[in-house]
Amino acid sequence: MDSLILDSNTWLLVLTGAGVSAESGVPTFRGMSGLWEDQPVEAVASPEGFRKDPALVWRFYSERRKAAAAVHPNPGHEALVAWERHLGDRFLLATQNVDGLHTRAGSQRVVEMHGNLFKTRCSHCERPPFEDATVYPAGAVPECDACGKLLRPHIVWFGEYLDPADIQRIEDFSLRAATSGGRFVFLAAGTSGAVYPAAGIVDQVRKAGGKTWLVNLDPAENSNRFEHRIVGKSGEVLPTLAKLA
């Protein structure tokens, strides 16, 4: 297996997906065949789904809050913490995962591109997102203290824009990495490469002259765009992949 050298010249951007949390016991989207209770995930993870049946959407997210609160980070999460300690500001972790496990493991330089399961925001007013681990009872839909309209999970659903500040952070890091005179490396782990804009980062990094690595259990939809591909579980591969120099 090739080794990933992380030395004082290296800038590392990591992208993680649901596969990285799989060994903690969080089901992946592909693993669920894109279904929840026999309906497509889009029915409960889209603005249309929320407009149609907000109680159903809150039941989906309440169940996932409960499940995510009961699991723990795995060796894959821990390896990323060690890499970050070694590289400091030359490290950035962009995650599509909303379970908060990277932060719980100790990662600090994290961009949660698709939001966070343990945050809620108003569907209507400008009240900022707030911490909320409440598991709402079936049928309940919480309302905003400020405007009385419906609260919603702080999640980026299909067809919604990612927070421009999050995109900017990834782009700024990539620009600094590419112009640093050092070695720019991108590693994606546990992601099917099917959802954009995350699945397109590999192309941007290659254009900027970066090296690209993929660690995934199955072939990803964008596999052939990576130079180095390692098939395996992130909790087994990541802890031994890097040589910290």
Give catalytic residues, as residue numbers. 114
**28 is a site residue for ligand BJW (CB under 6 A):** yes
Q: Which residues pair with 6 in a beta bridge?
A: 244
**147 is a site residue for Zn ion (CB under 5 A):** yes
**70 is a site residue for Zn ion (CB under 5 A):** no
Q: From Zn ion, ligand BJW, none, which one binds at residue 125 (CB under 5 to 8 Å depending on kind)?
A: Zn ion
Query: What 3 state SS string does the chain have?
Result: CCCEEECCCEEEEEEECHHHHHCCCCCCCCCCCCEECCEEHHHCCCHHHHHHCHHHHHHHHHHHHHHHHCCCCCHHHHHHHHHHHHHHHHEEEEECCCCCHHHHHCCCCEEECCEEEEEEEECCCCCCCEECCCCCCCCCCCECCCCCCEEEEEECCCCCCCCHHHHHHHHHHHHHHHCCCCEEEEEEECCCCCCCCHHHHHHHHHHCCCEEEEEECCCCCCHHHCCEEEECCHHHHHHHHEEEC
Residue 113 CB-half CA count within 13 A = 23
- Residues between 36 and 55 with contacts to ligand BJW, criterion CB under 6 A: 45
Q: Which residues pair with 193 in a beta bridge?
A: none
From the list 11-19, 140-148, 172-180, 203-211, the region that binds ligand BJW by CB under 6 A is 11-19
**150 is a site residue for Zn ion (CB under 5 A):** no
From the list 20-28, 82-90, 119-127, 203-211, the region that binds ligand BJW by CB under 6 A is 20-28
Q: Which of 114, 119, 152, 154 binds ligand BJW (CB under 6 A)?
A: 114
> Is the distance from CB of 133 to CB of 118 less than 8 angstroms?
yes
Q: Which of 161, 164, 165, 181 binds ligand BJW (CB under 6 A)?
A: 161
The residue among 146 and 244 lying less far from Zn ion, judged by its C-beta, is 146
**122 is a site residue for Zn ion (CB under 5 A):** yes
From the list 1-9, 11-19, 144-152, 154-162, the region that binds Zn ion by CB under 5 A is 144-152
Q: Which of 24, 62, 116, 216 binds ligand BJW (CB under 6 A)?
A: 216
The nearest distance, CB 20 to ligand BJW, in angstroms, is 6
Residues that bind Zn ion (CB under 5 A): 122, 124-125, 127, 144, 146-147
Residues that bind ligand BJW (CB under 6 A): 17-19, 22-23, 28-30, 45, 96, 98, 114, 155-161, 190-192, 194-197, 216-218, 220, 233-235
